[in-house]
Amino acid sequence: MKLFGILLLAILPAISYSQQSWIRINQLGYLPKGTKVAVWGGKEAAVPGDFQLIDSATGKTAFKASSGKSFGSYGPFANTLRLNFTKFTKAGTYYVKAGEARSPYFKIASNVYDGTADFVLNYMRQQQCGFNPHTKDSCHTQDGYTLYGPMKDSTRIDVVGGWHDASDYLQYSTTTANSVYHLLSAYKHFPSVFRDHYAANGLEGSNRVPDILDAAKWGMDFLVKLHPKAGWMFNQVADDRDHRGMRMPKMDSFYGRGFERPVYFCSGQPQQRGKFMNKTTGVASTAGKFTSAFALGYSIFSNTQKDYAQVLYNKAFTAYQMGLKQPGVSQTASVVSPYIYAEDNYVDDMELAASELFRLTKEKKYEQQAIDFARQEKITPWLGKDTAHHYQWYPFINVGHYSLATYSAAHKKELVQYYKQGIEKVWNKAKQNGFYRGVPFIWCSNNLTTSFAIQCLWYKNLSKDNRYDELMQSNIDWLFGCNPWGTSMVFGLPAWGDTPVDPHAAFSKIGHIPVNGGLVDGPVYAAIFKNLIGIKLVDADEYAPFQSDLVVYHDDYGDYSTNEPTMDGTASLVYLMAALESGGGAKK
């Protein structure tokens, strides 16, 4: 919560505690021709029959409409209403009033999303490993030593670089490759929204390269090191022995080999350190992600860095062969705690890989392989469900369907239907509550929310069907304040709004450096929160009136489950914000 909000609560406690209804909005604002809905939530049975949109400059009512039906109870509220003012299109600054409740001020304007993609990209630079531009210092420069590979254990290998995964300093191949693909796709589809204000290493200063490509290449260089030759691929750097207290990134000596950290080979077999065993069955879930990142990277960099692009081209095929040879999932390894990325699907990754190779080569065998993989997982399994394991279905949507539908006219109609069926599963849950919430409150629910909004966008682009516009926008609005807590889930965005200020992050807590652009994990089921290890709130909960037996969110350093920014979720958000800033239409 922003400081002024905390001060307001301190100054006006009687008003705050007597208030029984609230209006939640997208704090960034609304597009004149876009879907515009605020959500009213009240703790009493009575509901207002209508609402007004008030012009902040004149104080006059600019629009009035019925509040519509009550959606009943949700979270902390006894009743919820969707206040729809989509028909109103005049630009300006407004607030919504319904009964005794009024919303914060917000804008209706065509530029409400301008600059947001580049702002979110700030967090990707802050997560850099090897050299960090925010500390202006190096870290983890002796990574690392190998485990589980065909080489002798503890063999030295250079894998310095990439991004730290979250507020810890572990690094995963799967989240890196997925992030690289999203960043490259953002540039490919929406190149005009990105600027050049930073150098290749993340320091301030133009280098005549869009910052989005500098960021993508930082991650890509890491992937190149993790797939050094045919038949060799590594799945993660470091493990949960990293979790020995919050600290700024530096050189860590937690692994018994000086400042080296372990580098886990993609063996295709279960891996155990300490008492925990993962359920790895193959390599394809990692290899497929490498392939798609390399293939798209080749296309993006081939005009400016031909030799580098050729390296990526070659690695796309060697990575794909590893996936074909060892089908199955490659889960992460844990040593001291039970928490891992327990991925259970791989055919979506191989579909995207084959689709990208089809795009490069036009060879029909890759098109056929892609559709064969697609038919094995038509709908991402969490869609419409109440729960899933941590990163069980990753990426959180099937990116391969969009790629293949874009480049394969023969299969487009089929793939579009798969997207529609998945969206319908979520819609059948979402339409039952006032926030149109159909995404489960599992760990990293904001990542799922972002990805689901992208699936809705891609479906619309492919089908020209706008029936899910309000559902898509409700997920976007949720991220920026139209949620029970009335807060944005992105640090510092918008600058004038209620956003996280006390995330579970060393940069902000220890370094006093804002984690601008970081997408925090997001709300979790209250039952999950109560059973996680090592969580203890540091400060009084300013959102206490809005917690419930269903779901909780805390802007508190002590809560790593709801308030920790993540690198890969933020990378997906870069894509979503770029799409919104550009108007949504993707270039091929």
Report domain extents, the chain: 1-112, 116-484+564-582
Contacts of 243 (CB under 8 A, 6+ apart): 168, 336, 337
**515 and 501 Cβ atoms separated by less than 8 Å:** no
User: Containing H/E element for 53?
Assistant: strand 50-55
CA angle 94/26/134 to nearest 5° reads 120
Return the CATH number of the domain spanning residue range 1-112: 2.60.40.10
3-state DSSP of 204-248 = ECCCCCCHHHHHHHHHHHHHHHHCCCCCCCEEEECCHHHCCCCCC
Model-level pTM? 0.96
CA angle 462/451/370 to nearest 5° reads 55
Distance CA 585, CA 554 (A): 35
Closest CA to 394 of 571, 553, 264: 571
For residue 186, the one-letter residue type is A
Look-up: residue for tokens 């008030």?
54
CA angle 199/298/293 to nearest 5° reads 85
Domains 1-112 and 116-484+564-582 share a fold: no
Return the CATH number of the domain spanning residue range 116-484+564-582: 1.50.10.10
DSSP calls for 478-514: HHBT-STT--BSBTTSSTTS---SS-S-HHHHTS---
Distance CA 220, CA 10 (A): 48
Distance CA 498, CA 488 (A): 6
For residue 552, the one-letter residue type is V
**585 and 461 Cβ atoms separated by less than 8 Å:** yes
Q: What is the pLDDT of residue 154?
A: 96
Note down pLDDT in tens along the chain; length 588 residues. Answer: 644 344 333 333 334 558 999 999 999 999 999 999 999 999 999 999 999 999 999 999 999 999 999 999 999 999 999 999 999 999 999 999 999 999 999 999 999 999 999 999 999 999 999 999 999 999 999 999 999 999 999 999 999 999 999 999 999 999 999 999 999 999 999 999 999 999 999 999 999 999 999 999 999 999 999 999 999 999 999 999 998 889 999 999 999 999 999 999 999 999 976 678 899 999 999 999 999 999 999 999 999 999 999 999 999 999 999 999 999 999 999 988 888 899 999 999 999 999 999 999 999 999 999 999 999 999 999 999 999 999 999 999 999 999 999 999 999 999 999 999 999 999 999 999 999 999 999 999 999 999 999 999 999 999 999 999 999 999 999 999 999 999 999 999 999 999 999 999 999 999 999 999 999 999 999 999 998 888 899 999 999 999 999 999 999 999 999 999 999 999 999 999 999 999 866 555
State the CB neighbour count (10 A cutoff) for residue 56.
13
Look-up: residue for tokens 């949700």?
74
